[in-house]
């Protein structure tokens, strides 16, 4: 029987701490040859909309996922979602369809979990101030995820929309109450530079086409999770100087060199080389590549999002769904 799982069910089905552990595992497995993550091909549809089919297989979990992501920036004018996705979960041995999942909660939670894994591997242990450039639902999830791996006591947030910041504050308090964790101090910044200069750990969470963070603003010892830019080669949140200043760790090198605007535009500018993007998160986790080696080092996790992260979420969701029997 195929489970059909909607976002309202999925949001309460997967424990964030378990998901962080599962995302850590699949990234390590990818480096060690226990998982497959091919580069997805982008298909253009009407207007500026693109369709991105993403496939991954985990030998550990015995699962294959096929995620179909649409990025439709034209929806923004009508107030609709710019990104939508559906995840099909298959038994990797038999090909049997185990589940069809809405992609909203999955994408939001696994993205934040990946940032938490990277933060745990790369940020200084004494990091206490979390900076957010962007204040949508992904921001709330990032606060919950990052505070599981570092002793965060203050959040500094900025958004172009004051109403979005107000909604973020309400949603964060509701999440803290639901999770039974102490409320954090939340400060609203007048601009992105103020966030960057205050943050020990910085998360950029905007679908920006032009940089919202300049490399000149980065502070020694800081860690950055660059998360928000869609998989388009002309979109980026961090400028070329920022990419050159930081020690960059990526989720997948081959995908980054084809899909990440941060990578491709800094290469075009001549401020970086392809070798700057060879270090994958899984290699750091497996002890095969260095992460942070100096207290004053600036580290940056450039995240385009990979289907193996969706697979990690799906594996946990299936375990909590009584009418499915995924391989473990």
What is the C-alpha separation between 52 and 86, in angstroms, rounded?
11
In which band, very low, low, confident or very high, does the pLDDT at 321 lie, cut at 50, 70 and 90? confident
Mean pLDDT across the stretch 260-265? 96
Residue 313: is its pLDDT beyond 60?
A: yes
Confidence of residue 152 (pLDDT cuts 50, 70, 90): very high
DSSP of 70-127, one letter per residue? EE-GGGGGGT--SEEEEEEEEETTT--EEEEEESHHHHHHHHHHHHHHHHHHHS-TT-
Residue with tokens 């491709």: 264
For the four alpha carbons of 236, 80, 9 and 86, in that order, the dihedral sign comes to negative
pLDDT at position 230 over 90: no
Q: How confident is the model at residue 324 (pLDDT cuts 50, 70, 90)?
A: low
pLDDT at 11: 85
- 322 has a pLDDT exceeding 70: no
* Residue 270: predicted pLDDT: 97
Return the CATH fold of 3-106+308-319: ornithine cyclodeaminase, domain 1 (3.30.1780)
* H-helix or E-strand spanning residue 89: strand 83-91
Between 207 and 127, residue with greater pLDDT: 127
What pLDDT was estimated at residue 154? 98
Query: Cα angle at 228 between 146 and 177, to 5 degrees?
Result: 40
Q: What is the value of pTM for the model shown? A: 0.94
Residue 323: pLDDT above 70?
no
- Delimit the domains of the chain by residue range: 3-106+308-319, 112-306
- Residue 254: pLDDT above 60? yes
In the prediction, which pLDDT does 78 show? Answer: 76
307 has a pLDDT exceeding 90 = yes
Q: Is the pLDDT of residue 328 over 50?
A: no
pLDDT in tens, 59-109: 999 999 999 998 887 787 777 787 899 999 999 999 999 999 999 999 999
Candidates 3.30.930.10, 3.90.226.10, 3.40.50.2000, 3.40.50.720; correct CATH number of 112-306? 3.40.50.720
Mean pLDDT value across the chain: 94
pLDDT reading at 326 higher than 60 = no
173-192: per-residue pLDDT in tens? 999 999 999 999 999 999 99
263 or 70, greater pLDDT: 263
- Bridge partners, residue 56, by sequence: 65
Please state, in angstroms and rounded to a whole number, the distance separating the CA atoms of residues 210 and 178.
36
């Amino acid at each position: 029987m195929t489970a059909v799982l909607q976002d309202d069910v999925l949001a309460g089905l997967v424990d964030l701490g378990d998901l962080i552990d599962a995302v850590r595992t699949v990234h390590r497995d990818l480096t060690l040859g226990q998982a497959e993550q091919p580069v997805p091909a982008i298909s253009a549809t009407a207007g500026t909309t693109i369709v991105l089919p993403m496939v991954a297989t985990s030998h550990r979990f015995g699962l294959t996922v096929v995620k179909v992501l649409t990025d439709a920036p034209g929806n923004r004018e009508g107030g609709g979602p710019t990104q939508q996705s559906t995840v099909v979960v298959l038994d990797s041995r038999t090909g049997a369809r185990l589940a069809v999942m809405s992609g909203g909660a999955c994408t939001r939670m696994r993205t934040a979990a990946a940032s938490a894994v990277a933060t745990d591997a790369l940020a200084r242990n004494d990091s206490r101030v979390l900076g957010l450039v962007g204040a949508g639902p992904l921001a709330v999830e990032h606060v919950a995820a990052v505070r599981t791996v570092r002793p965060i006591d203050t959040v500094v947030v900025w958004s172009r929309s004051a109403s979005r910041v107000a909604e973020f504050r309400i949603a964060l308090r509701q999440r803290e109450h639901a999770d039974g964790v102490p409320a954090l101090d939340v400060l609203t910044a007048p601009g992105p530079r103020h966030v960057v200069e205050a943050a020990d750990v910085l998360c950029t969470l905007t679908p920006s086409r032009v940089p919202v963070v300049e490399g000149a603003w980065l502070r020694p010892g800081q860690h950055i999770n660059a998360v928000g830019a869609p998989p388009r080669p002309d979109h980026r949140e961090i400028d070329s100087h920022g990419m050159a200043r930081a020690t960059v760790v990526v989720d997948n090198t081959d995908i980054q060199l084809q899909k990440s605007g941060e990578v491709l535009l800094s290469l075009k500018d001549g401020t970086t080389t392809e070798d700057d993007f060879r270090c994958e998160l899984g290699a750091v986790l497996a002890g095969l590549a260095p992460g942070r080696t100096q207290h004053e080092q600036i580290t940056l996790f450039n995240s385009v999002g990979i289907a193996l992260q969706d697979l990690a979420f799906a594996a946990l969701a299936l375990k909590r769904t009584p009418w499915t029997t995924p391989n473990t």
